[in-house]
Amino acid sequence: MRLAWDPTDEAFREELRAFINAHCPPQARVGKDFLGGDDEIIPDWAREWQATLFDHGWMIPGYPPELGGRNATPVQTLIYLEELARQGIPRSVHFGGYAIVGPSLLEFGNDEQKAMAPAAIRGDTVWCVGMSEPDAGSDLANLQTRAVLDGDSFIVNGQKVWTSYATVAQKCFCYVRTNPNVPKHKGISVLIIDLDTPGVDVRPLRQISGGSEFAEVFFTDVVVPASNLVGELDNGWRITMGSLAHERGGLWVEGVFGCQRAVEGLVALAERRGLAGDPAVRRRLAAAYERVASLKALGYKGFAGFAQGSSAPEHSYMKLATAELRRELFELGMDLLGPYGAVVEPAFTEERARWQQGFFVGLAANIGGGTSEIQRNTVATRVLGLPKS
């Protein structure tokens, strides 16, 4: 069987490639194996690149031009994601604004809040997403950050954790408990909180990879205008589900093509290190190649169903499978480097410690957006139809 795109879609891909060749900054071409490592959490080149994508209708191609798109079809959006992932080019180094907050504001916000979406997608306003708390991660509905309505304002007290980009964000899309007296899914609301409001304390967390993209965010008697409520009071769980769906849509493409790039990089690394003839290395590379090819086929199968209006249960499995494969590939990269595989400083190793740093980031990929164990539960119950344990 030979899969091919139609000529209009191939023309779309060529237009995208020409745009990338003309505009993509060299820093974005280092590959998307890992982000971070820059002194700045959101470097200037990344801000400019995101704005350039938006201004040319290449930020979210399926959206209309005023939202950074060009009304592209679902197939063209797939081609777009595939092409960026194949070349290892990130759209942005902070996904919250364009991937979660912008789409959520458009879906659930009032007119004033919808008007904030273009700046979120263009990256002019940096947003963080305040979901996780010390006792609310996989069990998100357990969140305890409390918001009490007092006249025209909410008074917010509590703590978030693992809040990506909070140290550089202006606003937080924050999930709070507004009603503690109902079943826990039913008492959650979403507030827009300006991070420079008195009582907000953002404390950076340092990661194993050396970067500091995460923070803890503490709220002490923070006064938030009632008009900053997104959607209806106590109906935030719906927004939560929408936010996670926005985050996950298209992730399989990045996952699969990221793994494909890694396999290509591993073959080159094995050749450079004189290991390409080693039977054990060849077996591991061939097995990795086969797994990427199978996942790609599964992703396309799911997409074909999705484009025809049915659900794509295959995609529930893709995050799990690509996150786990990715970790194994970067571990293989460290093995191929021999003793150098233990050196994590980008400045002292070849390819800026691509394999070592990527391995650490791979550990995070097994947690963020739903841990591998939770994904397994989801696949078991919703895809395979097994009973809940």
Ligand X SMILES: Cc1cc2nc3c(=O)[nH]c(=O)nc-3n(C[C@H](O)[C@H](O)[C@H](O)COP(=O)(O)OP(=O)(O)OC[C@H]3O[C@@H](n4cnc5c(N)ncnc54)[C@H](O)[C@@H]3O)c2cc1C
End-to-end CA distance of the chain: 40
Site for ligand X (CB under 6 A): which residue of 15, 44, 290, 373?
Answer: 373
Site for ligand X (CB under 6 A): which residue of 31, 97, 118, 130?
Answer: 130
Q: Which of 247, 271, 324, 331 is catalytic?
A: 247
According to the binding rule CB under 6 A, does residue 368 interact with ligand X? yes
Q: Identify the CA nearest to 293 among candidates 250, 336, 322.
A: 322
Rule CB under 6 A: which of 95-124 touch ligand X? 96
According to the binding rule CB under 6 A, does residue 371 interact with ligand X? yes
Q: Which stretch binds ligand X (CB under 6 A): 234-242, 326-334, 337-345, 361-369?
A: 361-369
Please state the separation of Cα 130 from the chain's center in Å.
15
Cβ 168 vs Cβ 126: under 8 Å: yes
Half-sphere exposure of 318 (CA within 13 A, CB side): 28
According to the binding rule CB under 6 A, does residue 58 interact with ligand X? no
According to the binding rule CB under 6 A, does residue 138 interact with ligand X? yes
Cβ 160 vs Cβ 216: under 8 Å: yes
Q: Which stretch binds ligand X (CB under 6 A): 59-67, 194-202, 299-307, 371-379?
A: 371-379
According to the binding rule CB under 6 A, does residue 132 interact with ligand X? yes
Q: Which is closer to ligand X, CB of 55 or CB of 373? A: 373
Cα–Cα distance, 254 to 83 (Å, whole number): 10
Site for ligand X (CB under 6 A): which residue of 129, 224, 318, 320?
Answer: 129
Shortest separation between residue 273's beta carbon and ligand X, angstroms: 30
Q: Which is closer to ligand X, CB of 57 or CB of 211? A: 211
According to the binding rule CB under 6 A, does residue 35 interact with ligand X? no
According to the binding rule CB under 6 A, does residue 167 interact with ligand X? no
Q: Which stretch binds ligand X (CB under 6 A): 35-43, 84-92, 226-234, 366-374?
A: 366-374
According to the binding rule CB under 6 A, does residue 170 interact with ligand X? no
Cβ 77 vs Cβ 250: under 8 Å: yes
Q: Which stretch binds ligand X (CB under 6 A): 110-118, 156-164, 328-336, 345-353?
A: 156-164
Cα–Cα distance, 26 to 101 (Å, whole number): 28
Residue 40 a catalytic site member: no
According to the binding rule CB under 6 A, does residue 131 interact with ligand X? yes
Cβ 240 vs Cβ 174: under 8 Å: no
Shortest separation between residue 65's beta carbon and ligand X, angstroms: 28
| Residue carrying structure tokens 């007119």 | 111
Residue nearest ligand X, CB atom distance: 137
According to the binding rule CB under 6 A, does residue 159 interact with ligand X? no
Binders of ligand X: how many residues, by CB under 6 A? 18
**Which residues are at the interface with ligand X (CB under 6 A)?**
96, 128-132, 137-138, 162-164, 364, 367-368, 371, 373-374, 377
Kindly list the catalytic residues: 247
